[in-house]
Each structure stands twice: as structure tokens, then as C-alpha cells.
A and B are shown apart, each in its own frame.
Chain A
Amino acid sequence: MARRTTPRTPASQVLDNDGETSLLDVIDNALNKGIVLNGDLTLALAQVDLVYARLSLLLCAADRVLPHKDSDIIARHSDRRARRGR
């Protein structure tokens, strides 16, 4: 029985720029969905940064299908960072 070759993995598709899997999906998964082990140095950084990353991903994703840009959320994020005063 002829077996089809194993499908190439999502990351390899991104590296080859196949367009099938988007870089944003990879970032989104690795950043927001991986199991959180609470390392010695975690992304306790600030939840706001995670939220920001998530939102900008969504915006970019929407941007791929919608021909308009909305920079509001990014602007709001910058404001919040500034206010955190770090």
C-alpha cells in the first residue's frame, strides 16, 4: 500500500513561506496556549503585554482579509505602558 508522505508540519510551512500556516498562528499558539510552568523567569512580565500580543495578532489576522487598519488597540496599549511608568 502506497503511503503518502507525512504532511509537513505547520512550522516548516511557515519557514518555507507556503502561506498555508501563518506566523501569527504560531506566535499565538506558542505565546498564549502553551502550558504555563511558572518558570524562574516567566512572562509574569505583565499580563497586559500578553493581551496586547494577542490583540495585535487578531488585528493583523483581520487585516489580511480586511483592507483597513485599526491602530487603536496598539495606541491604547502604548498609553497603558506609559502610565505604568516603568
Chain B
Amino acid sequence: MSATLTYVYCLVRSARRPSITGVPAGVPLSEAVRLVDVPPGKTWLVVSTVPQRAYAEEVLDQEMQRLEWIGERALAHEAVVEHFLRADAVLPMQLFTLFMTDERAVEHVTRDRRRIERILSKIAGQVEWGLRLTLDPEGPATPAKTPLTRARVASGADYLARKRDVRDAVRDRTKKARLNATRIYRTLAAEATAAERRTDADRTVPGSRVVLDAAFLVPAGRAAAFRAVVRRQTGPLKRAGVAAVLTGPWPPYNFI
């Protein structure tokens, strides 16, 4: 077994060989990030050589449970991918995509050529923006504004009634926020090349305050216009206690 492995960050499509000047350092313990030509041309794999012992299957299997360990590598992986965001198209690989040699990596890509071409043509010139809307627990003026702890509570029954009022108000606000979220999602989706709304958060965590978790595929040149629409749409929600966080530009993770 070889003592080193080829770690693959992403595949880049570009008219010219992309610059790797200033490219981030890569995952921990890796050598310098470099490009590997993929025939017939205009396509490169972004890779770095890593010691086998640091990324062996047993190591991954064990460390995958530590979010800090994964986090450090995910950030390094992501930073390298983002360096190539301005290329015609960048296809991020899953974290820990490892091959025995460069040649094996190219071989795999070549074998998957048709699927990759299809994805590349879809995401060329596009970046991803993420929008998350959450109901602020601090909320605006509602009965919840009078915290139970501070209120003079006359009796147990009074306490329970207050508690119920708070709960009802939260439920009402959540319902309104969800309706707004859906409206905003549709408006933004109409502005985007493609859109994805994630619902796992709601399903997995009952009572989650996330009312919208969505990703939008937007032409790189339309970033400013898209952000303006987001601002216009989400601005009025602040009064209703809904916080909006827009992130990006991301590689088009949700559209490959």
C-alpha cells in the first residue's frame, strides 16, 4: 500500500489553466495544493498529496464522530474549493475523496464523464446562495415579552394561564412566519436559476425555529441583484421576529 494518497477537492472547468497562486493550504498534513490535467482538456482536478496514515479508513471511521476533527478538515476543503469559484464551473467533491494515485483519480473522473458533463453544464457560471430564516425566540412584542419569572404571578392557575398564552402566541407567530417563508422562497426561486428548500430540519427537530432553509442557484453576475431582492423581501420580517441569514457565494453544492 502506498504511503501517500491523492486527496481530491474539486473538479474545475475553465478556458485557461486556473491560477493556484494564493490557494489555501489544503487539509491538515497535506502537501501543496496542485492541479491535475483531465483529458481531453479544459478540465482539472484540484488535489493534494496526503500521508496515508492520516487519512486511512480506520482513522476516518474513528474520527468521523468528532465534529471538531471533521470541522477543521471541512473548512480546509471548502477554502480550497472556494478559491476556484471564479472558474467557469467548479464541482466540489465530497469531503475525504481519496485515491491511491493521481492517475486513479483521473481514471474515475473519465469513467464518470457523462454525468460530470451534465452537471458542469448545469452549474457553469452559477454560484449558490443560502438563506435561512429563523424565528427569534426573543421575538417582538407579544405576551412572551413579559417573562414569567419577572411577572407577579398571583396563583398557580394564573401561572398556567400565562404559560398557555405565551405558547399560543408562539404558535401563532410560527404559523405566520412559515407562511411568509413560503412566499419569500417562491419569490426568490423565481429570481434564481434553480432553488432547493430543505425540510429535514423541521422533520428531525420538532419545535425547530427554522422556518426556511433554502439554497438558490444564481448566475455569478447577478449576485448584487439577487441580494437586493433578498434584502427587500426579508427586511419587513424583522418586526415579526424573523431573522434572516444569507450566506454565499457557495460552490453549487445543492445543485449537483
Contact = CB atoms under 8 A, between A and B. Distances in A.
Contacts of A59: 204-205
B65 interface: yes
B93 A41 contact: no
A41 B55 contact: yes
Contact of A11 (B78, B91, B137): B78
B23 interface: no
Contacts of A39: 8, 97-99, 105, 108
Contacts of A4: 224
B94 interface: yes
B85 A9 contact: yes
Contacts of A37: 8, 93-94, 97, 105, 108-109, 112
Contacts of A21: 247
B223 A34 contact: no
Given A58-B200, A59-B205, A11 B82 contact: yes
Interface in B75-101: 75, 77-79, 81-82, 85, 91-100
A55 B75 contact: no
A43 B253 contact: no
Given A45-B64, A49-B61, A34 B97 contact: yes
Nearest to A60: B67
A40 B57 CA distance: 10
B57 A41 contact: yes
Please classify how large the interface on chain B is, using the bins under 10, 10 to 19, 20 to 34, 35 or more.
35 or more
B229 to A, nearest CB: 16
Interface stretch (B150-158, B183-191, B206-214): B206-214
Interface residues of chain A: helix, strand, loop or mixed (majority) = helix
A36 B60 CA distance: 16
A80 to B, nearest CB: 12
A62 B250 contact: no
B130 A25 contact: yes
Nearest to A56: B67
Contact of B210 (A27, A60, A61): A61
Contacts of A70: 205
Contacts of A86: 61
Contact of B247 (A20, A27, A66): A20
Interface in A41-86: 41-43, 45-46, 49, 52-56, 58-62, 65-67, 70, 86
Given A35-B11, A58-B204, 12 more contacts: A23-B71, A29-B250, A30-B77, A34-B94, A37-B108, A41-B99, A43-B94, A43-B95, A45-B61, A60-B67, A61-B210, A66-B137
Interface of A: 4, 7, 9-15, 20-21, 23, 25-27, 29-43, 45-46, 49, 52-56, 58-62, 65-67, 70, 86
Interface of B: 5, 8, 11, 55-57, 60-61, 64-65, 67, 70-71, 74-75, 77-79, 81-82, 85, 91-100, 104-105, 108-109, 112, 116, 119, 130, 134-135, 137, 200-201, 204-205, 207-210, 223-224, 245, 247-251, 253-254, 256
6 contacts: A7-B223, A39-B97, A40-B5, A46-B61, A49-B65, A60-B67
